[in-house]
Every structure is written in C-alpha cells, then in structure tokens.
Amino acid sequence: MEKRDQLYAGKAKSVYTTDDANRLILLFRDDTSAFDGKKKEALDRKGMVNNKFNAFIMEKLEQAGVPTHFDRLLSEQESLVKKLEMLPIECVVRNISAGSLCRRLGVEEGLDLNPCTFELFLKNDEKGDPMINESLAQTFGWATPEQVARARELTLKVNEVLKELFLSGNMLLVDYKLEFGMYQGELVLGDEFTPDGCRLWDKDTRDKLDKDRFRQGLGGVVEAYEEVGRRLGIKFD
C-alpha cells in the first residue's frame, strides 16, 4: 500500500490518498483539541493509543453487523480505511446527561436518560456544529431521510454493542458521536470511535476516562485512555 498525497488534515487526524482509489490512510496524530480548536496540545502516545483503540472498536462493531470503513492497521499511528463519501452530519447518542445537553437544557449532569437520546448536528466548525434535524438535512441536501434513518438505526445498534462492551470493563458509556459516509451505495460508519469522541465514566466512582479530562484540565488524559483500553484487553505496546 503506497501512501500518496495528504487529502485533509483535521484537528487530530490526517487523511492520505493511496495507490488504491478505494482506500485512504488515516494518521492518528498526538494533537488534541477542544472548544472548536481554541484549546490545543500534543499529548505523547495519544495517536498510537487512539489508532489501536479505534481498530479494536471498529472490529467489534463489524463483528456485530455494523458496516465500518476500517480495513486494517498499517502502523502504530496509521490505519487503512475504505474511501467514503462522508455525510456532513454528526450523530450523537446519550445514555447519561452531560456536556452540551446540560448547557442547552439546564439539566444536571449524570441523569440516566431512558430512552437514550439521538441528536443530529451539522459538521461545520465555522458555525460551531449547530444542531439540525431530519427535515433540515433533507431540505439542504446534507442527508436524505433514508440516510438519516439508517444512520440512526446503526448509531443505536452501536449503543447496544458498546454499552455492554464498556460495562464488561466496569465503565459507563455516557454519550458518543458518530459520522457516516457512503461506500458503493451503502451507509457505512466512518471517522473514529475513541475516547476523543465519547464520554466514558468508571461505573463505581464516575471518574471521567475520556476527553473531558483534557477539556476540563484534569490531567492524565492518555493514561485514562490507556486504562480504558487495558480494561477491554487492548494491547498498546
């Protein structure tokens, strides 16, 4: 597999073309950002940890019947993925109240949400990723009603699989964000699933084991990600 040109550089990952028109390389960098890029830092080992974490989760999801873009690990910080036509929407599921839900609705953090919530956001840094809905997605051409319905179905399936998985490591899956794209006519999970894009709490202490440690300046960010991985049996070295 030959790595060619950089296609895109996001806040924590870079994307490269390859000699295969249907495959891209994702490079998980050590860079970490929050608050729309206003807080930034490079955290040693984070790229490697997230690359291996993502590979582990994507393989679990694939086994559970969720189509993903993940193909294989290429190196410590790189993975080979299918080239998707990404939809400019973010799907968020919440099992426990936290983050923007609390700010928006004035509810306290830590409430059990039953049934879990499903929210759609437009992926647009300049506009601060505003919340949207199926109607707006259809009217503005961001996603068809069928794509939104399938994205919702897969996002909820991911919840069933990963709630159980994290519970097996005594962790609560509080919330998470997923992105989807089209590959040969099928809606497929893209982007990543790592502690950068979800909230995970220790079930007993409710200690934060995710990017909130970075957002809130709690320290021990990569150590917490490694702890999550260790509890799931992921080998980082």
Q: Which residues form the interface with ligand C5P (CB under 6 A)? A: 90, 92, 98-101, 129, 175-177, 197-199, 211
Structure tokens at 184: 């040969």
Residues with Cβ within 8 Å of 105's Cβ and at least 6 positions away in sequence, in order, are none
State the minimum distance, in angstroms, from the CB of residue 172 to ligand C5P. 12
Length of the chain: 237
Q: Which is nearer to ligand C5P, 18 or 214 (CB)?
A: 214
Are 25 and 4 a contacting pair, CB within 8 Å?
no
State the minimum distance, in angstroms, from the CB of residue 185 to ligand C5P. 27
Are 99 and 88 a contacting pair, CB within 8 Å?
no
Residues with Cβ within 8 Å of 134's Cβ and at least 6 positions away in sequence, in order, are 120, 145, 148
Q: Is 160 helix (H, G, I), strand (E, B) or coil?
A: helix
Structure tokens at 129: 């990723």
Q: Which is nearer to ligand C5P, 46 or 177 (CB)?
A: 177
State the minimum distance, in angstroms, from the CB of residue 99 to ligand C5P. 2
Q: Which is nearer to ligand C5P, 101 or 171 (CB)?
A: 101
- Cα angle 184, 187, 192 (rounded to 5 degrees) comes to 110
State the minimum distance, in angstroms, from the CB of residue 132 to ligand C5P. 13
Q: Which is nearer to ligand C5P, 34 or 74 (CB)?
A: 34
Q: Which is nearer to ligand C5P, 16 or 121 (CB)?
A: 121
Residue that the structure tokens 């939104």 belong to: 148
Structure tokens at 55: 């590979």
State the minimum distance, in angstroms, from the CB of residue 147 to ligand C5P. 19
Beta bridge partner(s), residue 181: 86, 188
Q: Which is nearer to ligand C5P, 1 or 218 (CB)?
A: 218
Are 94 and 174 a contacting pair, CB within 8 Å?
yes
State the minimum distance, in angstroms, from the CB of residue 51 to ligand C5P. 16
